[in-house]
Amino acid sequence: MTTASPLDLAIQSYQSTIEQLNEAKCPVTGAIVLTVMTARNGVQAALEADVQASGETLQRLSQLDQQLRDLGAKVSSFTQSVDWRSSFSPKEMAWWWFLAAPKTKWAKFDWLWTGLSVTCLTMSLGLVTDISSRFLKGGPDTVGAIAVSSQSVLTLLAVGGALTKVGREGGKATLKGLKLPEPYWASLGAVGSCVLLAGAFGLRQSLPSISDWYTGQGRAAYERQDWGSAEELYKRAIELNSDNDGAHFGLGRLYEDLQKLDEARTQYQFVGPKMPEAVNNLARLNIMKKEYSIAVALLQKPLSENQDTIGAETRFALLKNMGWARVKQGNYADANTWLRDAIKLGKKNNLSDEKMAAAHCLQALVIEGKGNPKAVEVAQKKALPEWKLCGQYGSSTVPEEDEWLTLAQKRLTDLEAN
């Protein structure tokens, strides 16, 4: 009677456990799977010890291994478990400890879903980086911190789950806990990555709206004379949307009040001819800088446009500044036309005397400049009504008006003395 070799005995035991596994109903227990694994361990140990194994024995082992692979769907929930690998520490060459469910037709496209996931996550990470840099430049605030942190955490978690070994294992454990079919894991990951990309893209597209909100907050801070907060809010609005004309204009007006005239000029230049108010303020700064021809060129375009497209107050300021530039150039006749039109427009639209005071100051200068040099006193008397309006309603907080107020007081004092 021939004695069975240790390898034959191990293979018989292995075959018996496979038959038990094959007959077991799903879901199988961990005990049955462990029996199969240890039986296959025994076969491997016997195979390494029996270097004279016959071809028939090896063929039989190969057939049993194929049967075990075919049963991968039954055991994959255990063999893919992080806890099992941590408890039993199988060697990588022991393939039976790493069995996975056979791929379905849907799972054959896992490479496509994986590629799509990586692409979407990479794009999401790029968008989040861009958004974060915009929000956090100059220091974080509450709104920015919430917007950035929520999107960043989701993106980083998704990237870590897709691109790191620990992340992938954690993701698999989560999907198993949710009892989602394994063949659809890759496609579900792709869908999640695309949703995350859509969220990041949506946040990026909403930056102009968020920028407008910051502009409104900056305007409110400016009105209550909290200029430090106003500057910070305007700058943040510009970081989120560099084409925010309202923020550029507000920041320019703030810098003008702070007498940072070069910075104000830069902000008005960003706006360009799209906003007549910015053109008007830029022209005014050029007049103060004695660049009269540049100021005239700037004012020509908005003044040549349809009057209905520009508010009465803005058009009045454009006309007044054009008259001012012409006064500085010594062109009193042209200045008189512009200033007369400005005063007429102001009266027609019921602008306050305070807003119209500068035009009266300039008109007084025009009357004196147009007069006969040999009859200075006569010209000054003709300018007296304009000087009175200038002195009564002019504002000493506006640099050029303060200069004209001083001149108005001198004229009125001299005329009263005479």
Q: Are residues 25 and 41 in the same domain?
A: yes
Tell me which of 109-118, 224-233, 333-342 is least confident.
109-118
Q: Are residues 112 and 86 in the same domain?
A: no
CA atoms within 13 A on the CB side of 59: 3
- List all residues 6 or more positions away from 347 whose beta carbon is below 8 Å from its beta carbon: 356
CA distance 4 to 12: 10
CB 312 within 8 A of CB 303: no
Q: Which of 173, 205, 237 is the last residue of a domain?
A: 205
Q: Are residues 55 and 110 in the same domain?
A: no
Distances (CA, A) of 175 to 80, 103, 241, 295: 12, 17, 40, 68
pLDDT: is 3 or 100 the higher one? 100
The whole-number pLDDT of residue 371 equals: 58
Q: Across the chain, what does the average pLDDT equal? A: 81
The whole-number pLDDT of residue 411 equals: 83
Residue 26, in any domain of the structure: yes
Residue 225, in any domain of the structure: no
Residue 74, in any domain of the structure: yes
Residue 58, in any domain of the structure: yes
Q: Which helix (H) or strand (E) holds 71?
A: none
pLDDT tops 60 at residue 156: no
Q: For residue 391, what are the domain limits?
A: 355-418
pLDDT: is 146 or 11 the higher one? 11
- Count of the separate structural domains present in the chain: 3
Q: Are residues 111 and 201 in the same domain?
A: yes
Mean pLDDT confidence for 255-261: 92
Residue 214, in any domain of the structure: no
The whole-number pLDDT of residue 162 equals: 47
pLDDT: is 255 or 49 the higher one? 255
Does the reported pTM lie above 0.85?
Answer: no
Q: Are residues 145 and 189 in the same domain?
A: yes
Mean pLDDT confidence for 292-310: 87
Q: Are residues 133 and 93 in the same domain?
A: no
Tell me which of 91-100, 206-215, 216-225 is least confident.
91-100
Residue 340, in any domain of the structure: no
Q: Are residues 115 and 51 in the same domain?
A: no
The whole-number pLDDT of residue 166 equals: 45
pLDDT: is 197 or 250 the higher one? 250
Band the pLDDT of 198: cuts 50, 70, 90: confident
